[in-house]
Amino acid sequence: MLIRNVQQTDLTSLLKIENIAFTPAEAATKEAFINRIRTISDTFIIIEENGVVVGYVNGPVISAPFITDDLFETTNPNPPKSGHQSILGIAVHPNYQGKGIASLLLKELEKIATKNERLSITLTCHKELIPFYEKNGYENQGIADSQHAGVEWFNMNKPLK
């Protein structure tokens, strides 16, 4: 498996995985992916096997410790140091799930965040995914204020030292 930063040529594969992993209301749009690829390629990580994209993680660095819904629409460039590394999306193609790929992606993003002196990694998830993130060192901070896709989200945070 190869872990690398996103490239514009990954767009079609990313959209395919995104639309399998998330409901239409939750999924990032093509325009959002194009913007993230252009703006935060340093924190948009791809994992591929034999030249095929099988998973990804992405998110901008933000000043607040929790994700706000506006991040799903607008992406700003990452500052060189400090801030909180957010995760707006992480997904693995169903044919490759259960092999530890999502955990590998989290670890890779954590390496980047640590190198750039980020304070924490923050994300929101569905209730059933809380144990997965806790297994990867994240702490449940309770129900998020997010109204994204009209579902209940939980704030998860991993402090970095």
In contact, 56 and 47? CB cutoff 8 Å: yes
- pLDDT for res 73: 87
- pLDDT for res 7: 98
DSSP string, 21-57: HS-TTTSPPHHHHHHHHHH-GGGEEEEEETTEEEEEE
**C-beta atoms surrounding 43 within 10 Å:** 24
Asked if the model's pLDDT at residue 78 lies above 90, the reply is yes
**Residue 92 parent element (H or E):** strand 89-92
Q: Give the tens place of pLDDT for each residue, 29-74.
A: 999 999 999 999 999 999 999 999 999 999 999 999 999 999 998 9
What are the sequence ranges of the domains in the chain? 2-159
Stated pTM of the model: 0.96
Residues in the chain: 161
**C-beta atoms surrounding 44 within 10 Å:** 25
2-159 CATH fold: Aminopeptidase (3.40.630)
Query: Phi/psi at 124 (nearest 5 deg)?
Result: -120, 150
In which band, very low, low, confident or very high, does the pLDDT at 161 lie, cut at 50, 70 and 90? confident
| Average pLDDT over every residue of 95-115 | 98
- pLDDT for res 46: 98
Q: Give the tens place of pLDDT for each residue, 108-159.
A: 999 999 999 999 999 999 999 999 999 999 999 999 999 999 999 999 999 9
- pLDDT for res 143: 97
**Residue 90 parent element (H or E):** strand 89-92
